[in-house]
Structure 1
Amino acid sequence: MPIDLASGACRADNVCLAGSTCTHSSLEGAKFHDVNLRGAEFVDVALTGARLSNLCLGDVTIADANYAGMRIEGILVTELLRVYRRQSAAPDAEPPGAA
């Protein structure tokens, strides 16, 4: 059942929104605390300037993304990918996970 909400802030505490769909929506400046997003799908989403902490990213897949300025543990992701690709292309490089 679609629910039309007036533009502006709303608060949802202790609710189950499993299976919900947000289309052409803005959550700019929203805060999420103690939220379960297991199995969620994000397509064509802008996370520029977002801060993520205390996350479980097990089995997360990121594809077709712009990583400019993105950091993991303070390290630029573009630098991590550059080094990984260079080492993977080396003829004597060990396959990822080998050691």
Structure 2
Amino acid sequence: MEENKLLQGRNFHNMDLAGSNFGQVQLRTSSFHSVDMEACRFRDVSFINVTMEACEFTGMRIDGVLVSDLLRVYAESSKK
């Protein structure tokens, strides 16, 4: 197990980290592009000031609620 490694400012490209576990990891100001997070689970994670653009949310749930349903309701209410 890798612990207490300082990898600030590193670039990770074309890597397979499937099945990996991350705990007590700082990813502040990091950027993700063309990343497959299918079937990942986030628990006790801070998403403060996170921006998501051009993302696929099929089946994604936040506290048990489908994100696609939330976005649909928001879109419908913003039309009024």
Q: TM-score range by the shorter chain?
A: over 0.9
Match of residue 54, structure 1, among 41, 44, 48 = 44
Flag as ranges the 4+ runs of structure 1 deviating above 3 A: none
Q: Does 1:63 align with 2:53?
A: yes
Normalising to structure 1: TM-score of the pair? Answer: 0.79
Determine which structure has more spread, i.e. the larger CA radius of gyration. 1
Match of residue 14, structure 2, among 12, 24, 43 = 24
When the two chains are superposed, the root-mean-square deviation of aligned CA atoms in Å is 0.6
Match of residue 66, structure 2, among 76, 79, 94 = 76
**Unpaired segments of 5 or more residues in structure 2?**
none
Match of residue 35, structure 1, among 21, 25, 28 = 25
Sequence identity of aligned pairs in percent? 34
Normalising to structure 2: TM-score of the pair? Answer: 0.97
Distance 1:22 1:35 in 2: 15
Distance 1:53 1:62 in 2: 18
Q: Which has the higher contact order (CA 8 A, sep 6+)?
A: 2
